[in-house]
Amino acid sequence: MIDEKILTLVVNIRDRTNSGTLHWETTVKEGTFQVVFSFSETVVQISEMKRPVSPSPIHSLRILNEEGVVLEEITELTLNKIFDQRAKQLQATKKELVESFGLPDPDQVLDDIYTSARRNALGVDGKLDRLLNELK
């Protein structure tokens, strides 16, 4: 049951971030962006961390309560474990889960959220629009 909630949460955050309806902000920690949900007194943070032996970073999506306590932390590893379990139950491959069931790619979805959240928090699109207007 918790796995279903995690997948739903990740998909909803991805979709709302991509549509621009979540308003991400910077934090004091470099590479970390957050959204504050006042009604539920919850904070969602996305971070990117460099791995010492790999060129690709790892992403962490954390859910914090009003006191800053981490309630849940989701990484690519978390999502891959969920997908492995789901694939085993349905006798399908992870690729089939992504293609047939519309689930996000567990190796890509957090990177997508991070990239969109970063652009949103830093106001990249607006700054690029202004720059393009100046260059006309």
107-116 pLDDT, tens digit per residue, is: 899 999 999 9
**More confident call, 100 vs 82:** 82
Check: CB of residue 26 under 8 Å from CB of residue 123: no
How many Cβ atoms from other residues are within 10 Å of residue 75's Cβ? 17
Question: Considering the entire predicted model, what is its pTM?
Answer: 0.88
Q: How much is the average pLDDT of 29-52?
A: 91
Number of domains in the chain: 1
pLDDT of residue 9: 92
Q: How confident is the model at residue 97 (pLDDT cuts 50, 70, 90)?
A: confident
Q: Which domain holds residue 128?
A: 2-135
